[in-house]
Amino acid sequence: MASKIARPLLALVATPVLAALLVGAGTQGGAATPGAPGAGDPYFPNSGNGGIHVVHYGLDLDYTPTTKNLVATADLTVTATQKLSSFNLDLSGLTVDSVRIDGRRVAFSRAGNELTVTPSRALDKGRRFHVVVTYSGVPAHVYDPDGSPDGWIIQPDDSVFVASEPQGAMTWFPSNSHPSDKSTYDVEVTVPDGWTAVSNGRLRDRRSRDGKTTFAWRESQPMAAYLATASIGRFQTEQYTTRSGLPVYNAVAPSQAAAAKPVLDQLPAVIEFESRLFGRYPFDAAGSIVQDAPDVGYALETQTRPIYDRAPRLDTLVHETAHQWFGDSVTLTKWQDIWLNEGFATYAEWLWDAEHGGPSTAQKFATDYALPETDALWSFPAGDPGDGGHIFGKPPYARGAMVLEKLRQTVGDRDFFAILRAWASEHRYGHADSAAFIALSKHISGKNLDAMFATWLYGRGKPATP
Ligand SMILES: [Zn+2]
């Protein structure tokens, strides 16, 4: 995510760790227990769920921009990771009409943002099943602890900006909405003729019938729910294939087209530059969604096809493209480690600038280090934001990039870029955390880096020496 508009912090509502989180942990064979209502992340305790892994989402969305009404079916292929008497999905608002497991209607209930599904018979650990949820209504975005809108964000011109970091996926589909679970996706969106719906991955099919057009998208690599999109607008679209054979699909709001074009045209060069530094581009599609949504206040690295709230600047495009390696392909297990996304994407901007006539990364580091102790840069450690209201604050971005520059200066260029490439390849399509990054850095460099990371990643305040 980039360029979040600063907003006053809202107080975080403390959510007690539910006793149910503990129930079912370590259950072997024996009794079936309810899946936990959260994935166990202290920053967002109710995001995600316990006891299930969603292998695949098949989303079928029919949206009418003038009425804002969504009529949808979500077909989830799920594996039980414990013996389940019931399990939860995350869903905010909307009306659930029915829930079926392997074709049979089952009981369900709603409470807050939790949809609890109770099968007629327990689901054994390891069992794979389909849960099909039919639902409808006018989706409403949520506000994150830092005050920014998140999810299905309807615009004054009836277009829809869909970006879901960290918790907005639940505003438009029943989901296991925590980055620790990744899934493949088929997203089909039907809109009135003249509108375009854009999701992740490749456009598989586009068909018109009775005044409506269906866009069928497929993301065939694992994706966290927060990186899914189904943005809708009266877009100008453009499709081409890069020299390296990558299909690009751009969708741009007409009001932004002239300003966006010179920046979007740089995408193949940015992908080539970053592939040289980080290893091969991880996905089979690319592109951009540019909307006219100035009140949103941010861009997001939606997988394969980042979304921008206005014509992006080149540094923002460089940032969101770098996230395809760092965040999208290699994904967090907990939100505390957000610097692994934002510090890396910010450092990619530094690298691009240095290569294109700007200051060196060492100069950027020195400029940031010169900021006074009172600057927001030093307000909390990059590796420990403390709560969900601070994950998009300044330290995970700028100080996260400083951690990487410090690492580079400590281990040298050869080992530093070997670390970045090994990080992207060893964890491609998977998950990793800060401890794994520190271990990899030590392994490749052969150096003890504990003090460096303790100071720059986890230390409070401004380090005494640069
Ligand atoms: Zn970012």
Span from the CA of 344 to the centroid of ligand 1 (angstroms): 8
Span from the CA of 143 to the centroid of ligand 1 (angstroms): 18
Span from the CA of 384 to the centroid of ligand 1 (angstroms): 17
Span from the CA of 126 to the centroid of ligand 1 (angstroms): 35
Residue 275's Cα: distance from chain center in Å?
20
**pLDDT value, residue 234:** 98
Strand pairing class (307-308; 286-290):
parallel
**pLDDT value, residue 27:** 45
Span from the CA of 25 to the centroid of ligand 1 (angstroms): 33
Span from the CA of 306 to the centroid of ligand 1 (angstroms): 10
* 80 close to 96: Cβ distance less than 8 angstroms: no
Span from the CA of 34 to the centroid of ligand 1 (angstroms): 35
- Cis peptide upstream of residue 166 (ω within 30 degrees of 0): yes
The total number of residues written for the chain in this structure:
466
Span from the CA of 458 to the centroid of ligand 1 (angstroms): 20
* 151 close to 302: Cβ distance less than 8 angstroms: no
Span from the CA of 414 to the centroid of ligand 1 (angstroms): 25
Span from the CA of 450 to the centroid of ligand 1 (angstroms): 26
**pLDDT value, residue 30:** 85
Span from the CA of 369 to the centroid of ligand 1 (angstroms): 21
Consecutive 10-residue runs of the chain (466 residues): their mean pLDDT? 58 38 49 97 97 98 98 98 98 98 98 98 98 98 96 98 98 98 98 98 98 98 98 98 97 98 98 98 98 96 98 98 98 98 98 98 98 98 98 98 98 98 98 98 98 98 96
Cα(463)–Cα(420) distance, rounded to whole angstroms?
24
Span from the CA of 192 to the centroid of ligand 1 (angstroms): 33
Span from the CA of 265 to the centroid of ligand 1 (angstroms): 20
Span from the CA of 373 to the centroid of ligand 1 (angstroms): 24
Span from the CA of 2 to the centroid of ligand 1 (angstroms): 5
Q: Measuring CA to CA, which residue among 240, 201, 198, 253 is closest to residue 222?
A: 201
Span from the CA of 159 to the centroid of ligand 1 (angstroms): 24
Handedness of CA 246, 224, 381, 149 (dihedral sign): positive
Span from the CA of 116 to the centroid of ligand 1 (angstroms): 33
Span from the CA of 342 to the centroid of ligand 1 (angstroms): 5
Which residues are 330's β-sheet partners? 326
Span from the CA of 180 to the centroid of ligand 1 (angstroms): 18
Span from the CA of 281 to the centroid of ligand 1 (angstroms): 17
**Is 0.85 surpassed by the pTM of this model?**
yes
Span from the CA of 391 to the centroid of ligand 1 (angstroms): 11
Span from the CA of 454 to the centroid of ligand 1 (angstroms): 23
